[in-house]
Amino acid sequence: MPVIIPVVSASGGVGKTTITLLIAHYLVEYGEDPGKILIIDTDPTAGLSLKIYGDDYDRINQLRRTLYHMFKDYDKGKNIDIDDYVNPPNGNIDANTLQNVKVLPPGEDDEGDLSNLVTLWLGEYGRGDALFTILSKSGALSRFNYIIIDTAPFFDKRYTSIALAMTDLAKVNKAVVPLRPTLTDIKRTIRMTQTISRKINNEIKPIFVFNFDKDMLRSEAAALREAGIEVLSKGSREARGAKPPGEVVKAVNDLKSTGKIINVALAYMASLTRFPEKWLKDVESYTPKCVISSIINEFNENIKPECSILVETE
């Protein structure tokens, strides 16, 4: 059984796709065979696939090499071979490490409408075993060592559900949950976690990762520190003097009681906004290495958190 890592979130734009790619990148850089890593982009807006395929995404869709077409063929009773649907990033990204990673893009029908069929497969909370069954029959579960699943935000629950149902069936029961260190995001995330445990999977343990998608949220950084989470990023020195807002500290502590928080926040990295050209450079820096290795360690204890090297250089 591969290590299955679903990446889900309550809000949009919090770093799911970025973290999915960083996990794959880290695994390859530290010795995993890229051909044994499968990224499934279940987000119908195809953020990850557009990032790595660029304009080729339309061609891939025409070639029917997508999750959508895989599901459709399966429903028609065809024998599914995963190799007929996965695609390597084929030169559209600069990051050589990812060239041989396999990606299953979401795809869509001729009208550009994925959602009708998705509803059919998934329903509001998912046709729980759909993705697992099809991956199992297609040989993917014996062929890959890692399956990382990027999703659309939880306001469309189907995509979160299909990813989480995989963990249940694979008996992992963990999911990576990135969020911004803002009061709104924390509260939304707590609500999502409660809904997930009520409606999707009682057992699921969220692994929360605070991500700074803006250069500096001073008082939020101070609140994370107050709650015991390290924040090392540009400008974090000044933030040391900031007064932590009590309500954010309380929300972070509430969040702690619903799952595990990675104790170092993912810093803002200007290079990520210019993905993919410059991202490798920052992946070399300590903070993302520590955060990403800590996340992977939750799913595979053979990969140790690389945090001892953390030093504040500013």
Ligand X SMILES: Nc1ncnc2c1ncn2[C@@H]1O[C@H](COP(=O)(O)OP(=O)(O)OP(=O)(O)O)[C@@H](O)[C@H]1O
For Mg ion, the binding residues (CB under 5 A) are 16-17, 47
Residue with tokens 């559900």: 161
Alpha-carbon distance of 44 to 223, in angstroms, equals: 35
16 near ligand X, rule: CB under 6 A: yes
For Mg ion, give the closer residue by CB, 51 or 174. Answer: 51
Given the rule CB under 6 A, which of 8-16, 102-110, 249-257, 304-312 is the region that contacts ligand X? 8-16
**Residue 279 touching ligand X (CB under 6 A):** no
Q: Amino acid identity of 81?
A: D
Q: Is 177 helix (H, G, I), strand (E, B) or coil?
A: strand
CA 11 – CA 258 distance, rounded (Å)? 17
Chain residues 129-188 in contact with ligand X, contact rule CB under 6 A: 153
Q: Identify which of residues 14 and 232 has a Cβ nearer to ligand X in the complex.
A: 14
Nearest-angstrom CA–CA distance, 114 and 41 = 13
Task: Rule CB under 6 A: choose which of 8, 39, 140, 269 binds ligand X.
Answer: 269
Cβ nearer to ligand X, comparing 43 with 56: 43
The H or E element spanning position 51 is helix 47-53
**Tokens for 20?**
């999915």
Q: Which is nearer to ligand X, 82 or 217 (CB)?
A: 217
In contact, 203 and 169? CB cutoff 8 Å: no
Cβ nearer to ligand X, comparing 47 with 89:
47
Task: Choose among ligand X, Mg ion, none what residue 179 binds, the Cβ cut-off being 5 to 8 Å by kind.
Answer: none
Handedness of CA 49, 52, 58, 62 (dihedral sign): negative
Alpha-carbon separation of residue 117 from 71, 108, 149 (angstroms): 9, 9, 19
- Minimum CB distance to Mg ion, residue 291 (Å): 17
Identify the CA nearest to 149 among candidates 14, 272, 37.
Answer: 37
How many residues bind ligand X (CB under 6 A)? The answer is 20
Residues 62 to 121 in contact with ligand X, rule: CB under 6 A: none
**Separation CA 134–CA 38 (nearest Å):** 14
Confirm or reject binding of residue 204 to ligand X (CB under 6 A): no
Structure tokens at 132: 């697992």
- Stretch 231-260 residues interacting with ligand X (CB under 6 A): none
Grouping H, G, I as helix, E, B as strand and the rest as coil, residue 243 is coil
266 contact choice in ligand X, Mg ion, none (CB below 5 to 8 Å, kind-dependent): ligand X
**Is residue 206 a contact residue for ligand X (CB under 6 A)?**
no
- Pick what 160 binds: Mg ion, ligand X, none; C-beta below 5 to 8 Å, kind-dependent: none
Please list the helix, strand and coil fractions of the chain in percent, rounded to the nearest 5, in that order.
Answer: 45, 10, 40
Task: Check binding of 273 to ligand X (CB under 6 A).
Answer: yes
What beta strand segments (E) does the chain contain? Answer: 3-7, 37-41, 102-104, 146-150, 174-179, 205-210, 260-261
> In the complex with ligand X, which residue's Cβ is closer, 138 or 161?
161
| Selected range binding ligand X among 29-37, 119-127, 163-171, 266-274, rule: CB under 6 A | 266-274
Binding window for ligand X (CB under 6 A); candidates: 74-82, 86-94, 265-273, 305-313: 265-273
Interface with ligand X (CB under 6 A): 9, 12-18, 43, 47, 153, 211-213, 266, 268-269, 272-273, 275
